[in-house]
Amino acid sequence: MVKHVASVNSSVLRSRFFAPVAVVAAGALVAGISVIIQVEQPKASEGAVTIEPIGSSVLLCPEPGAGGNLGVRVTAAVVPGQPGQDSGPGSAGIETLPGKESARSRITEPGEQGQIEAFGDRLPAIRAYGEGSLAPGLVADQWGRDPSGQGRGMASTACAPAASEFWFVGGGSIAGRKTRVLLVNPDDTAAVVDVIIHGPDGIIDAPAGRGLVIPPLDRATVQLDVLAPGIAATAFHVLARTGRIGASVDDEQRSGLKSIGTDWIPQSALPATKVYVPGVINGLGPRVLSIVSTTDNDANVTVRIISPDGTFEPAERNSFTVTAGAVVTSDMTTALPQTPDGSLPATLELTSDQPIVVGMRQFFGGNRVQDETAFSAGAQPINGPSAVSGLPVRDATDVRLAISAPEGDVEIDLVLLPFRGGKSVGEPTAPRRIKVAAGKLRNIKLEPPTDIDWYTAIATPVQGSGPVLLAHRIREKSRFGDLITGYPWSPLRIEVSVPSAAQNEAIAVRRAATS
């Protein structure tokens, strides 16, 4: 049975804590037909840009519902108080792409949220969209939970912006492990996509992953064990030759018929010579780092660890040489600060002489028993607001937010936007001011109202704050083994840089000759 939660399942959130900010950006080019005209104007500086609010946003949620006992909820919100939200009309919401089943939820103003739920069946991929004044601040998330079935586990992912390039670090195709790449085309024309796979020995020859045609408004699945069987560690570089797509990667490991770990692999930041891995979760079990050198040169990588007590270079596993194009893995557990209950929360800082992408697979359990896995990914520090929607409010479940200060003191305001089903209205929580000293990490528990279904968490740096790294962790305690998921946060998509046009010192326009 599929449960569709329609547009009535939205919650409008109004508060004195969010005052819309007006951003005015103006520019004009005036041209006329005349005889030769010479116009003298100041010349714009080379490379000048103007900052304008985005006018359109599309986020793609890959797979809501897949049968069995799996329940999936896709949520969206337009975070209020962002530039451009008072600039005129707009529309937003979430809706399924065309298919056998359909559902939608509309968002009509900043601060409103919506959801679509699927239980026991699979819906088409879901598109979250924002146009006009409702494009800035759009976020969407897919969260799923199977408490007892063969696919037991908890999994979540940010719904990906439609784009032409993605990196994912993680996955494998050894016995018992299943990794899939899901490609969603939100447009009315076909997209042509290459899925390039990196392994321990470099790029894997997998021609069946090249030139994939994704039909309009459709979804395709690429199975790693079909393209490249028997690979222990992989990374994916997804490129759209034509069109744009949303890309997501999920990973599951089984022991016999029992699932011993499932989650979505977060999208990694694009290659860079300094990359961070936030969201290293505390607890027992291996924390396996994967590094890929993305150029034709080997990379020399050094590692530092940001912890609750400060930043330090570990005594071991503090440097790696990564062969060009290859995936290098290392269990970082012994390098992390330890307690009797396992490693402490941490963020890794990787510095390289070549561009790299990175990720981490995290195992959870005790007494040599693996119960669950979760992933983190390479990220860059955030200087503006960031948010995640769909954080669940359930019995025996808590959400923690790891806040790291990699470059200077950090100060953020944290606000929670509650969602209650039906037509009820929830009030945002009062801002919670959180300070983190430079080079340290704080792992705070989020405290939402108890009589709600889920909430959106918004972190906004205070003026003068240093850049921040954020990652959340959801944990549901169970006597059969805890269910765990989470991922690093990305900056809100609010504004876009538009190159400024510089007019020449003289413009000559010739009148068309007439006979």
Q: Any idea what the CATH number is for the domain that residue 258 is in?
A: 2.60.290.11
Q: What is the pLDDT of residue 143?
A: 95
The yes-or-no verdict on residue 515 having pLDDT over 50 is no
Q: Minimum mean pLDDT among 108-122, 232-246, 408-422: which range?
A: 108-122
The pLDDT value given to residue 50:
86
Q: In whole angstroms, what separates CA 3 from the centre of its chain?
A: 26
**Mean pLDDT of the region 110-119:** 90
Nearest alpha-carbon partner for 234 in 243, 225, 246: 225
Which residues sit opposite 347 in a β-bridge? 306
Task: Give the pLDDT confidence score for residue 49 in this predicted structure.
Answer: 78
**Mean pLDDT (the chain, rounded):** 86
Q: Is residue 155 part of a domain?
A: no
470 and 459 in contact (C-beta within 8 Å)?
yes
Handedness of CA 318, 311, 344, 376 (dihedral sign): negative
Give ∠ CA 12-18-21 in degrees, rounded to 5.
115
pLDDT in tens, 321-338: 999 999 999 999 999 999
User: Which amino acid, 446?
Assistant: L
Q: Is residue 63 part of a domain?
A: no
| Residue 496 is assigned to a structural domain of this protein | no
pLDDT-derived band of residue 422, with 50, 70 and 90 as boundaries?
Answer: low
CB 416 within 8 A of CB 501: no
State how beta strands 202-203 and 191-199 pair: antiparallel
What is the pLDDT, as a whole number, of residue 7? 35
Q: What is the DSSP string of 278-315?
A: EEE--BSS-EEEEEEE-SSS-EEEEEEEEETTEEE--S
| Cβ neighbours for 193, distance < 8 A, ≥ 6 positions apart | 183, 211, 212, 213, 214, 238, 239, 240, 241, 245
Can you give the residue range of the structural domain that contains 195? 160-268
pTM of the full structure: 0.87
* Most trustworthy range by pLDDT among 40-49, 94-103, 210-219: 210-219
> Hey, is 346 helix, strand or coil?
strand
pLDDT-above-90 percentage for the chain: 70
Q: Is residue 196 part of a domain?
A: yes
- Nearest-Å Rg of the Cα atoms of the chain is 24
Structural domains in the chain (count): 1
Structure tokens at 38: 């010479």
How deeply is 198 buried, as exposed, middle or buried, from its count of CB atoms within 10 A (0-12, 13-18, 19+)?
buried
In a domain, 440, yes or no: no
Residue 140 lies inside a defined structural domain of this protein: no
Q: Tell me the pLDDT band of 479, cut-offs 50, 70 and 90.
A: confident
Tell me: the pLDDT tens digits for 336-381?
Answer: 999 988 899 999 999 999 999 999 999 998 666 668 899 999 999 9
- What pLDDT, in 10s, does the model give residues 158-180? 998 999 999 999 999 998 899 99
Q: Region of 390 please: left (phi>0), alpha (psi -120 to 50) or beta.
A: left
Q: Are strands 218-223 and 177-185 parallel, antiparallel or unpaired?
A: antiparallel
Average the pLDDT over each of 96-110, 211-225, 352-366 and give the range with the smallest value.
Answer: 96-110
**What pLDDT was estimated at residue 11?**
46
Q: Residue 307: inside a domain, yes or no?
A: no
Q: Is pLDDT above 90 for 392? A: yes
Q: Which residue has the higher pLDDT, 29 or 453?
A: 453
Using the predicted structure, report yes or no on whether residue 137 has a pLDDT greater than 90: yes
pLDDT of residue 98: 87
CA-closest candidate to residue 138, choices 189, 89, 93: 93
In angstroms, rounded to a whole number, what is the distance separating the alpha carbons of residues 38 and 156? 60
